[in-house]
Amino acid sequence: MKEKIQDIGQVPAFYSTQVLKAERFYFDVHARGHQGITVVCGGCEHCEPDFRIDRKDFPYYSIEYVARGKGEVTLKDKTYPLVAGAVFAYGPDVPHIITTDPRDRLVKYFVDFSGTRALSLLTEYAPHPGHMVHTSSPTQILRLFEDLIANGQNVTRYSDAICATLLEVLMLKVAETAVSHDFVGSMAFATYQTCCEYIREHCVSLQTLTQIADACHMDEAYLCRLFKRFGELSPYKYLNRLKLNMAAMRMQAPDTPIKQIAYELGFSSPFHFSRAFKKAYGVSPDSFRRRR
């Protein structure tokens, strides 16, 4: 059963229908040969058990990121296993096949783009078309993709330019955090990924570093070392950022009191919530809501 498919813009013929849930946006799907770089479309897809993409060619360049699940991707003649943190690219003249493990279905983000600088930027920063890398900081890549989707769906005169800029930042961040396949297979990295996923899924109920460590069945000091090695935030700051992101989404509903949101997300007081929110976003919750 389809859970929720939200498509903003004119849906192109090449988009996948084998998804249970999706958030996607589409700009000008006929954009070819533009100067610089231009985003065509992007989004997040929760794959069905029989998800399969088999293309001999593709009109745009594309970067895909695996947030959860397992699968396989064949780029030209080489097959790579897909796990959380994998980032791969393809484009014109790059045949590709993408499949999911039906027992652990893929949740993946993608962005398709074109322009005279597209190939040179991919070659310099992100994985070359037909290749794959892994990121040591999946939270950073995930946040950039989520920003892309939010700005792509919020259609304004500036959306195209904002998304193009975010795409360049995404490429730079992939290059900065890229690690080898052998490194990703380590037990430490797998443990880090598992901890991140647990915190994401239980961020409302978790409150302290001790709770996180106990839930992940490990020592607090070791948990902090994992996050320092592979991520940009400590476990507690990562939890706090997830709560604040969730709060920002909830505040888009004007009828929900900010005080109620603060308590529902586990903040000790509205004052504590307001101080944390302003530190993260540069504005108070009230100012954020008025601007929205």
> For the residues 7-15, what does the mean pLDDT come to?
70
**Residue 258's domain is classified under what CATH number?**
1.10.10.60
Mark which of 145, 180, 215 sits at the end of a domain.
180
Mark which of 144, 163, 180 sits at the end of a domain.
180
Mark which of 180, 215, 243 sits at the end of a domain.
180
Residue 36 sits in the same domain as residue 92: yes
Indicate the average pLDDT of the chain. 88
Residue 44 sits in the same domain as residue 163: yes
- What local confidence, expressed as pLDDT, does residue 268 receive? 86
Q: Is 96 helix (H, G, I), strand (E, B) or coil?
A: strand
Residue 90 sits in the same domain as residue 212: no
| Residue 25 to residue 32: CA distance in whole angstroms | 18
The boundaries of the domain holding residue 259 are 186-291
Residue 140 sits in the same domain as residue 281: no
Residue 151 sits in the same domain as residue 236: no
pLDDT reading at 166 higher than 90: yes
pLDDT reading at 231 higher than 90: no
Residue 20 sits in the same domain as residue 160: yes
Residue 122 sits in the same domain as residue 42: yes
For residues 253 and 287, the model is more confident at 287
Confidence of residue 184 (pLDDT cuts 50, 70, 90): low
Domain count, the chain: 2
| pLDDT tens digits along 13-67 | 777 889 998 999 988 766 555 678 999 999 999 999 999 999 999 999 999 999 9
Q: Whose structure tokens read 């029989």?
A: 50
Residues of the chain above pLDDT 90, percent: 57
* Helix residue spans in 178-269 (DSSP H): 181-184, 187-201, 209-215, 220-230, 235-250, 258-264
- What local confidence, expressed as pLDDT, does residue 49 receive? 95
Report residue 139 as tokens: 């939270």
| Parallel, antiparallel or unpaired: strands 96-100 and 178-179 | unpaired
**Residue 146's domain is classified under what CATH number?**
2.60.120.280
Report residue 210 as tokens: 């001790």
Residue 144 sits in the same domain as residue 20: yes
Residue 75 sits in the same domain as residue 209: no
| Residue 47 to residue 66: CA distance in whole angstroms | 11
Residue 200 sits in the same domain as residue 113: no
User: What length is written for the chain?
Assistant: 292
| Residue 284 to residue 275: CA distance in whole angstroms | 8
Taking the model in full, what pTM does it have? 0.67
Residue 35 sits in the same domain as residue 101: yes
> For the residues 78-89, what does the mean pLDDT come to?
93
pLDDT reading at 280 higher than 90: no
| pLDDT tens digits along 241-273 | 899 988 988 887 778 899 999 999 988 898 999
Residue 69 sits in the same domain as residue 147: yes
pLDDT reading at 6 higher than 80: no
